Amino acid sequence: MADVGQVAYLRDGFIPFSEANLSIASASVLYGLSVYTVMPVFWNAERQQLYMFRPEDHFQRLQNSAKIMAFDDFLKTWDYRRFEQTMKKLLKKNKLRQDSLLRITIFVDDSLKGTRMHGLKHNLSAFVYPAVPLLPKTGANLCVSSWRRTPDNAIPSRAKINGSYVNAALMKHEAVLNGFDDAISLDEQGHIAESTVANIFMVRDGRLVSPSNSADILEGITRDTVFKLTDKLAIDRKQRSIDRSELYRADEIFVCGSSVNITPVITVDHRIIGSGKPGQLTKQLISLYRSYGRHDDGFDSPWAVAVN
């Protein structure tokens, strides 16, 4: 990753990214015992200002994941004030002047402890990299994966656990080999869950529909932002189970997440969605999301926290 920021944060200090390494015997490397969040960072060129997007919510997500994984050491040693100040310092040290992503990880910092999690040392790492979307901005071609979404009672869906993304990698690999941009997963009941790294929405008859929280999904921060934006637009929305065949009949589909922003979906399983182009509501949400993230003039954004 040649474009990664030159300065990283690891174990209570700022160091060159090239030196931010973990032992090959660490529990986070051997067993995936780490949790993370990816926080968007927006650059407003007119204001010459950098903004973190919903940092308090990203810290809360780290806390929630840490609670699920019994990462007690992190919960005792980090509060939001320390988190915000540390992330601001890291962004300033990298002298960013573009939209970026900040990846923050809480990891078990012990070696050869087996799969044990409780009572071990935990540390935080963070680095920044350019916000290059993982899916085509003009519209993604997706397929329904033959792999099922890992159920919550196997690996908790509400925690962003690094090890759990083997499930997503298998789906993505299959999709790309078959000529698609990404995959859509089904839960154990056969209902739509999410894509490999993003939540999914569809529009039918003017209503925005998303899978319910019980569909083994990550309760995404961008997903929650979409809910709040549709409230501002007075758009009717509902969370419920979605069948695979419903996607084929949707007027619009989009996926959303920190690494994909809001991305239109133009085909699913080779079926054209709507007109085969990004839909009106999707385009409206994309525009609003960018404006609130960058704190554009005319948008009193409660979510954009200035870095300087």
CATH code for the domain of 277: 3.20.10.10
Domain membership flag for residue 300:
no
> Is residue 69 located within the same domain as residue 96?
yes
- Measured CA to CA in angstroms, residue 110 lies from 64, 73, 123, 162 at distances of 21, 12, 10, 16
In this structure, the answer to whether residues 285 and 196 fall within a common structural domain is yes
Q: How many domains are contained in the chain?
A: 2
Q: Is residue 14 part of a domain?
A: yes
Domain ranges, residue 253: 140-294
Instruction: Give the strand order in the sheet containing 100-108.
Output: 13-16, 7-10, 122-130, 100-108, 34-44, 49-53, 304-306
Q: Is residue 305 in a domain?
A: no
Q: Are 260 and 180 in a shared domain?
A: yes
For residues 149 and 63, state if they share a domain: no
User: Are residues 106 and 75 in contact, defined by beta-carbon separation less than 8 angstroms?
Assistant: no
H or E segment at 195?
A: strand 192-195
Measured distance CA(51)–CA(11) in Å, rounded = 25
CATH of the domain at 54: 3.30.470.10
| Domain assignment of residue 203, yes or no | yes
Same domain, 113 and 157: no
Answer yes or no: do 153 and 275 share one domain.
yes
Longest pairwise C-alpha distance within the chain:
55
Last residue of a domain, one of 130, 163, 179: 130
The pLDDT tens digits along the chain (308 residues) read: 458 999 999 999 999 999 999 999 999 999 999 999 999 999 999 999 999 999 999 999 999 999 999 999 899 999 999 999 999 999 999 999 999 999 999 999 999 888 888 888 999 999 999 999 899 999 999 999 999 999 999 999 999 999 999 999 999 999 999 999 999 999 999 999 999 999 999 999 999 999 999 999 999 999 999 999 999 999 999 999 999 999 999 999 999 999 999 999 999 999 999 999 999 999 999 999 999 999 999 898 999 999 98
Strand 49-53, strand 100-108: pairing: unpaired
Same domain? 154 vs 34:
no
Spell out the alpha helix ranges (H) of the chain: 27-31, 55-68, 72-77, 80-93, 165-177, 221-232, 244-248, 280-294
**Does one domain contain both 81 and 166?**
no
Residue 235 lies in a domain: yes
Last residue of a domain, one of 130, 157, 186: 130
My answer on whether 93 and 238 are in the same domain is no
Neighbours of 75 (CB within 10 A): 15
Instruction: For residues 46 and 70, state if they share a domain.
Output: yes
Q: Is residue 232 part of a domain?
A: yes
State residue 133's pLDDT score.
86
Does any domain span residue 304?
no
Where a domain ends, among 96, 130, 164?
Answer: 130
Regarding whether 192 and 118 lie in a shared domain, the answer is no
| 86, 55 Cβ separation under 8 angstroms | no
150 shares its domain with 273: yes
